[in-house]
Amino acid sequence: MIDVSTLTLKEIVSSLEKEKFSSEELVLAYQKRIKDVDEDLNSVLEISPTAQDDAKKIDKARAEGKSLGKLAGVPVLLKDNMMVKGWGNTSGSQILEGHKSIYNATVVERLKKAGAILLGRTNMDEFAMGSSTETSHFGPTKNPWDKKRVPGGSSGGSAVAVAAGLAPIALGSDTGGSIRQPASLCGVVGLKPTYGRVSRYGLMAMASSLDQIGPFARTVEDVAFLMSTIEGKDSKDATSVELKDTSVPELMNPSVDGMKIGIPKEYFLKGMDKDVEKLVMNAVAELEKGGAKVEEISMPHTEYALATYYIIMPCEASSNLGRYDGLRYGYHSTGNNLAETYSLSRGEGFGPEVKRRIMLGSYALSAGYYDAYYRKALKVRSLIKQDFDEAFKHVDAIVTPTSPSIAWKLGEKFGDPLTMYLSDIYTITANLATVPAISLPCGFSKDMPVGLQLMGRPFDEYTLFRIGMYYQNLTEWHKRIPV
């Protein structure tokens, strides 16, 4: 049996092309590892029943010398909020119990076209509302570095799966840090692309102006390779953008010589874990040694980002989740009349965090409060974006911590929503400003991973990949795996 625990995407593609092992052998190895390892972690909700047959078809086509896609035979896991035809997609919620998708998300179509094997779906915070993957109807996911700790969220299942070697790559979604924060807490690489770079068609919407699909992998190079497969204009998503060029890892120059890197003073404040700050600044020092010019910058509206996000996101979520009425699909409860049926179905089907955000959003959008809250939040969002626009006139990338702390204990913040929300403080600005951001491992504190966040100009993922690949060529943090 193949030892898949440390394999990268690049290594798998090369090995499949050289026929060191078959796609079927690879799929069987990952399926066995999921069964052996994931019972405690609870990161994978369902293994695809057709994965082995799909792998056999790829092997047959390869043996016949047919032209294959760049991900031919590579297993990939998907967050439970992405539509896969025939699969049970629930977005981690009871209200979609028994729901079966009737079409594929665009990213799924592109993965299939590239020959990837859809291995299964991963656990997540209910409707992506959470920072710890504890709000899932299917129970919490645990951090593979310490199973008493959270993996981050909301894409915790995908991050854990890659960290634990249950798949070489996985997809998640990021509304306010839901890819980068769990990537940081689990010691893997996670990218939130520029808004519009990846189609959202077939992604269960939480906050439509903030959501973006992105990849997890062990290395920055693997993330870039996967991005070149899923990105690009989609006629089914009006917010997707026609790209002038795509990031091709083979053509990259992993160098930082001459680059200007900004350190925003507003991101290094009281309350941050001292070890986190030290490790991030150590990483900055490595970039400086490579010829990067580091300077302190100011982003004055950062202090309003958390409040702005937690008005805009619940407003959009309350609107998007209105479609789950208990009548058309999923969980259903019967009342004495239509209004009571709605109330019972939604009251029983949604979890506490989802109901909390629906109520917050509905309140902020209600008559008499719309101007005071939602409209004002939109204005502040514009100011936050202006901070980024101004910063990128002087620097090529912005470096910050991904999370203010390492992973906390399961249940530690679960009953305190405000404290939980603060864990997103360094990631939400990228979503509000629609810029790309990536998290990669930069060290360990108390034997737990710490993440470095890089943010770039809109549609300039290329620069983030260059910096990230340069840093990973110098360091070994991304090669560590949990026991």
- What sign for the dihedral angle of Cα 155, 132, 308, 437? negative
**Confidence at 254, pLDDT banded by 50, 70, 90:** confident
pLDDT higher than 80, residue 466: yes
Place of tokens 């082995």: 52
* Domain containing residue 380: 1-483
Q: Which of 43, 79, 132, 199 is catalytic?
A: 79
Place of tokens 């300077």: 295
In three-state secondary structure terms, 440 is: strand
Percent of the chain with pLDDT over 90: 89
User: Is 178 part of the annotated catalytic residue set?
Assistant: yes
Q: How far apart are CA 352 and CA 415, in angstroms?
A: 10
Name, in order, each residue with C-beta under 8 angstroms of 277's C-beta and a sequence gap of 6 or more. 268, 401
Q: What is the pLDDT of residue 251?
A: 62
Q: What is the pLDDT of residue 195?
A: 98
Q: Which of 22, 154, 173, 247 is catalytic?
A: 154
pLDDT in tens, 114-154: 999 999 999 999 999 999 999 999 999 999 999 999 999 99
Q: Which of 23, 178, 247, 439 is catalytic?
A: 178
Q: Looking at residue 312, which CATH number applies to its domain?
A: 3.90.1300.10
**Where is pLDDT greater, at 254 or 85?**
85
pLDDT higher than 70, residue 250: no
pLDDT higher than 70, residue 426: yes
Question: ∠ CA(42), CA(43), CA(47), 5° rounding?
Answer: 100
Q: What is the pLDDT of residue 416?
A: 83
Q: What is the pLDDT of residue 248?
A: 61
User: Is 79 part of the annotated catalytic residue set?
Assistant: yes
Q: How many domains does the chain have?
A: 1
pLDDT higher than 90, residue 184: yes
Q: What's the pTM value of the predicted model, to 2 decimals? A: 0.96
**What mean pLDDT comes out for the span 353-375?**
94
